């Protein structure tokens, strides 16, 4: 089954800095989704990038996808304390289920 | 348009008991997926329902079962609770279609189950 592995496992930065987290996966995909989870709460969908897209933006978020390397990255620019959360990637291949890794825990210090 | 809601918010049970968790999907969504998230881990897929039929199952034993109703709301039932069932249970709704759906999923806030 498809599973994304996020890297790094934890990231601590200062407010205003950029945060980059990466996702690697193993088989072909239809799309790759990024989600955010604030402590102990439900996941919030951030961006869906399809396999024929290379880059997508949403506000301060920029997602890239390299299907040849089976990897994706999520960049958060000008981070804020409110961006503190865990971030998960979910590559979606031949089935509807999302298979999550352990996520990247981002801490943005004021 | 209302979002995904789950009830109850918290629940405490003892080993061997049975529990039912409920999920109301977002308006217009016909697919509900359930996930279990242990502390410090990512969500693990339990199963998915599309138009009242099970549409895929993860690596969970049969004592985890579910239902989807004509209004697309859903229940997750867990029998013979074990200590390791303590987790955050998340449901997510999406727009599905026959043969597969590759759309974003919208998650509820979760039910935190503690088994003593």
Which residues in chain B have their CB less than 8 angstroms from residue A42's CB? 4, 90, 107-110
pLDDT of A57 strictly over 60: yes
| pLDDT at B107 (0 to 100) | 94
Chain A residues touching residue B92 (CB < 8 angstroms): 43, 98
Mean pLDDT to the nearest integer, A63-69? 96
Q: How far apart are CA B40 and CA A57, in angstroms?
A: 29
What pLDDT is recorded for position B2? 67
Q: In angstroms, what CA-CA distances link A101 with A9, A13, A44, B53?
A: 10, 22, 15, 27
- B 32-71 residues with CB < 8 A to A: 33, 35, 40-45, 48, 50, 55-56, 58
Contacts with A25 from chain B: Cβ below 8 Å: none
Q: Is the pLDDT of residue B1 over 70?
A: no
pLDDT-based confidence at residue B65 (cuts at 50, 70, 90): very high
Judge whether residue A96 has pLDDT over 80.
Answer: no
User: Nearest CA of chain A to the CA of B31: how many Å?
Assistant: 10
Residue B5: closest C-alpha in chain A? A42
What number is the average pLDDT over the span B23-43? 92
Q: Note the pLDDT of residue A21.
A: 97
Average pLDDT, chain B: 92
pLDDT tens per residue, range A46-55: 999 999 999 9
* B42 closest CB neighbour out of A31, A96, A100: A100
pLDDT greater at residue A56 or residue A5:
A56
| pLDDT for res B91 | 96
CB contact under 8 A, B56 and A33: no
User: Does residue B116 surpass a pLDDT of 90?
Assistant: yes
Q: Chain-wide mean pLDDT for chain A? A: 92
Q: Could you tell me which residue, A31 or B97, shows the higher pLDDT?
A: A31
Mutate to test the interface with A, among B6, B102, B108 (most CBs of A within 10 A): B102
Q: Cβ contact (<8 Å) for A96 and B102? A: yes
Q: Over chain B, what HEC string results? A: CCCCEEECCEEEECCCCCEEEEEECCCCCCEEEEEEECCCCCCEEEEEEECCEEEEECCCCCCEEEEECCCCCEEEEECCCCHHHCEEEEEEEECCCCCCCCCCCEECCCEEEEEC
The chain A residue lying nearest B42, using CA atoms, is A102
């Amino acid at each position: 089954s498809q599973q994304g592995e996020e890297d790094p496992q934890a990231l601590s930065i200062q407010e205003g800095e950029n945060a980059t987290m990466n996702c690697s996966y193993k088989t072909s995909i239809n799309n790759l989704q990024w989600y955010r989870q604030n402590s102990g709460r439900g996941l919030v969908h951030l961006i869906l990038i399809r396999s024929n897209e290379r880059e997508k933006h949403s506000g301060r978020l920029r997602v890239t996808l390299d299907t040849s390397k089976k990897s994706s990255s999520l960049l958060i620019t000008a981070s804020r304390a409110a961006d503190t959360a865990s971030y998960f990637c979910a590559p979606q291949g031949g089935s509807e289920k999302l298979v999550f890794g352990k996520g990247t825990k981002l801490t943005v210090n004021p | 348009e209302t979002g995904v809601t789950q009830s109850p918010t918290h629940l405490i049970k003892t080993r061997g008991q049975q529990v039912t968790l409920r999920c109301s999907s977002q308006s217009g969504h016909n697919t509900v997926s359930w996930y279990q998230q242990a502390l410090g881990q990512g969500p693990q897929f339990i199963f998915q329902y599309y138009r009242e039929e099970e549409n895929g199952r993860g690596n969970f034993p049969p004592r985890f079962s579910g239902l989807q109703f004509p209004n697309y709301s859903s229940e997750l039932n867990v029998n013979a609770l074990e200590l390791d069932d303590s987790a955050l249970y998340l449901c997510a709704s999406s727009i599905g279609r026959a043969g597969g759906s590759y759309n974003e999923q919208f998650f509820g806030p979760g039910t935190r189950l503690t088994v003593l």
